[in-house]
Every structure is written in structure tokens, then in C-alpha cells.
């Protein structure tokens, strides 16, 4: 029996050119690496993100594809993309998951564990 699995990792960077601290807007870029760590070819179809700032303001983002792509990954293959988020405090967090489907139309989810949105230079 096939074991579909995508493993995800994330790198975060502040986006000073999109940050407007005087207006309470803080921007961060994030780069996600998605690896097919399973034993069957599968496709990423959709995304679902929860973005929260330290005041508890939550944004929910759902949609098809990631930056216009629905990558089809064979076992061992990786796909990387970058995007960005804007929150109302200098720190926050994101978590999410991707809806994926195998070539045999088996649906599974690839979880993206919670990660911090912050300028690492400001963390103590």
C-alpha cells in the first residue's frame, strides 16, 4: 500500500520595504520547501493558512495552488516557493496545511507546523 507524505520546512525574513510600523503593519517573507517524503507521486492542490499576531488578530487564507503552481512531485522531489504576510504586531505566527492528492486520487494533507513571524534580531 502506498504511503503519501509531503514534509514542509519554512524560513522567515522580515520585509522592511513592506513594513509600516507607524501604521501598525509588519511584513514578513517566508520560503516554504515541500518535499515528497512518501513513496508515491502526488500533487499539491490547495493551501490553508492561519496567521495570528500577538494581539490575537487572526487571518485565514485559503485557495488553490501556491503562487500559481500546483506542483506534481515524485518521491524525493522538492518544490520551493516564497510568499509574504503582513500582521499588526512586530511578532506573530503562522501555521497551515496543503491539500494534496496522489495519482490514484487519494487525498491527504501536508501539515506546516507553526512558525514564528519576527525579526530574529529583535528576539531575546
What are the structural domains of the chain?
6-108 (2.60.40.1470)
68-124 pLDDT, tens digit per residue, is 999 999 999 999 999 999 999 999 999 999 999 999 999 999 999 999 999 765 554
How confident is the model at residue 1, as a pLDDT? Answer: 77
The whole-angstrom separation of Cα 112 and Cα 11 is 12
In a 10 Å sphere around its CB, with 0-12 CB exposed, 13-18 middle and 19+ buried, how is residue 1 labelled?
Answer: exposed
Q: What is the pLDDT of residues 6-63, one digit of tens each?
A: 999 999 999 999 999 999 999 999 999 999 999 999 999 999 999 999 999 999 999 9
Spatial distance between the Cα atoms of 20 and 113, rounded to a whole number of angstroms: 27
Residue 124: count of CB within 10 angstroms of its CB: 2
Residue 124 pLDDT:
46
Start-to-end CA span in the chain (Å): 47
* pTM for this entry: 0.92
Amino acid at each position: 500500500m502506498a504511503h503519501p507524505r509531503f514534509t514542509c520546512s519554512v524560513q522567515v525574513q522580515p520585509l522592511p520595504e513592506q513594513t509600516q510600523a507607524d501604521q501598525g503593519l509588519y511584513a514578513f517573507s517566508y520560503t516554504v520547501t515541500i518535499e515528497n517524503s512518501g513513496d508515491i507521486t502526488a500533487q499539491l492542490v490547495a493551501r490553508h493558512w492561519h496567521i495570528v499576531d500577538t494581539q490575537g488578530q487572526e487571518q485565514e487564507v485559503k485557495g488553490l495552488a501556491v503562487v500559481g503552481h500546483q506542483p506534481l512531485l515524485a518521491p524525493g522531489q522538492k518544490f520551493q516557493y516564497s510568499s509574504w504576510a503582513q500582521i499588526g504586531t512586530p511578532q506573530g505566527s503562522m501555521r497551515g496545511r496543503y491539500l494534496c492528492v496522489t495519482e490514484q486520487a487519494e487525498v491527504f494533507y501536508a501539515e506546516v507546523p507553526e512558525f514564528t513571524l519576527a525579526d530574529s534580531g529583535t528576539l531575546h
